[in-house]
Amino acid sequence: MKKVIKIITIIISSVFALILITAVVLGIIFRNEISAISSIILLKPRVENSLQCGIYEMTCKGDYYFEDYLAQGGAKNDRELLDFIMNKMTKGLLKIKINTSKIGCSSFTAHKENGDHLFARNYDLYATNTCLVRVKGNKKRHASISTVDTSFINIPARADMNNLLSRAYALAAPYAPLDGLNDAGISCGIYMTYQGAGKNVIATDQNTDLPDISPTALIRMILDYADSLDEAVDFARSYDMHDSAGTSFHIMVAEPSGRSAILEWVNDTDESDNYGSLRKLVVTYNNNDSNIGQREGEADFQWITNFIIQPGYYKVYDKDLTGWERYNIIYDELSKSSGLVADEMAAMDILHKVSQRTVRPNRNADDFVLTVHSVIYNLDNLTTLWCGNEQYADKEGMFRYKLNSKKRIFE
């Protein structure tokens, strides 16, 4: 009998030892993923039967394999990118998909009396959950903060990120930033351009001998590695751009010196720009944009919405262009003081003036488009003022960050 008990004890001990060893091995293999998933916190809950969706925060301290992504030559399309993410971050155990939609957004640069430079951004889309992604810097990358629309990474707008599966989807978040700021003071964002004749939207799809990249991956690259505006532009010139999911984008980048640039991939005019492979990168700097127009040439600040700014691209530049009204409102507000704003809240007030509820007050009740988030990045003191779901009156409910600080809200 004692011999049987001893055998059983040995078997049970062996099973527990195997389980422990397996857990340790899995913990080592998935240590970066476990760290990221466990860091996710809810900042503001979703409100049922409203446009107020959830706001989350995630911190990435470990590797999300972006260097490996670049080393393999990037990705020509969403499928290649997703295959890479699944193989690297979920070890092939989880299927992830990235969705995109029509994005209507606004951005501008401004400065404060103390010399601080600001980068402001509205993100307009259907009501959706968002996640602020904080990346810890190391010897290879900058620390950064960025915003991600979680509907792009397979998390429904009308669902909470409260289970392991939805949190596992969030592992793709570092590859889907819409805007952000790094600790070198470089800030950037992406905006849809609706390029293509008629109602067709044609994605940029360059095919040369250069490695491949998508707009959000370029934003990640800039946030992780760019020390200056010129370096960010060099990154863009070094890759073939492949816009995601049949849409087209342009990008704006700014640095603490006050310089900024708009990056656009174009070919000839709107009526003939139907071949994404023929597009070339055109960079327009804020200190060299007199070719666009008199007001752009005279302004030190720069601003952007959802149409191509290159002169001659459209037959007529007027209200029929997506974002034309918002473009003019931003200029009107900033030109009153030559781009000078009192503080971050004053810049946020301008974003309020071009938010969806403000510019479209008579929209239908079943219209679920709103300004999902508004953010002011200070490029000099590396702080962030972030507002979700057009809650501009709730100043206490806005989120304030300082890069390289563990504290979320600062005074």
Q: What is the pLDDT of residues 296-343, one digit of tens each?
A: 999 999 999 999 999 999 999 999 999 999 999 999 999 999 999 999
The pLDDT of residue 97 is 58
> Side-chain half-sphere of 237: how many Cα atoms within 13 Å?
9
Give the number of other Cβ atoms within 10 Å of residue 59's Cβ: 18
Lowest-confidence pick of 23-37, 94-108, 252-266, 357-371: 23-37
Task: Look at residue 20 in the predicted model and tell me its pLDDT.
Answer: 47
Task: Count each helix (H run) and each strand (E run) in the chain, helices first.
Answer: 11, 17
Banded model confidence at residue 25, pLDDT cuts 50, 70, 90: very low
pLDDT > 90: what percent of the chain? 68
SS3 207: coil
- The model's pLDDT over 270-284, given as tens digits with 9 standing for 90+, comes to 999 999 999 999 999
Note the pLDDT tens digit of each residue in 361-374. Answer: 887 777 888 999 99
Q: What is the pLDDT of residues 60-104, one digit of tens each?
A: 999 999 999 999 999 888 778 877 887 776 665 556 655 555 567
Q: Is the pLDDT of residue 391 over 70?
A: yes
String of b and e for 336-359 (b: at least 16 CB within 10 Å)? eeebebebbebbbebbbbbbbeeb
For 105, the enclosing helix (H) or strand (E) is strand 104-111
Average pLDDT, the chain: 88
User: Residue 151: is its pLDDT beyond 70?
Assistant: yes
> What is the structure's pLDDT at 13?
53
Q: Is the pLDDT of residue 386 over 80?
A: yes
Average pLDDT in the 20-30 region?
47
Confidence category of residue 24, pLDDT binned at 50, 70, 90? very low
Tell me the average pLDDT across 247-253: 95
**In which band, very low, low, confident or very high, does the pLDDT at 199 lie, cut at 50, 70 and 90?**
confident
Between 411 and 154, the more confident residue is 154
pLDDT score for 112 = 98
The arithmetic mean of pLDDT across residues 206-224, rounded, is 96
Q: C-alpha distances in angstroms, 103 versus 69, 78, 193, 408?
A: 26, 17, 9, 28
Residues 6+ apart with CB under 8 A from 145: 132, 133, 134, 135, 180, 181, 384, 401, 403
Per mean pLDDT, which range of 227-241, 255-269, 353-367, 386-400 is the poorest?
353-367
Distance of CA 172 to the CA centre of its chain: 12
Question: Which segment of 29-33, 213-217, 262-266, 294-298 scores lowest on mean pLDDT?
Answer: 29-33
pLDDT, average across residues 205-227: 96
DSSP assignment letter at 174: G
- Where does the pLDDT of residue 9 fall: very low under 50, low under 70, confident under 90, or very high at 90 and above? low
The predicted structure's pLDDT at residue 3: 65
pTM as predicted: 0.90
Pairing of strands 55-60, 383-388: unpaired
> So what's the pLDDT on residue 411?
39
Contact 279, 267 (CB under 8 A): yes
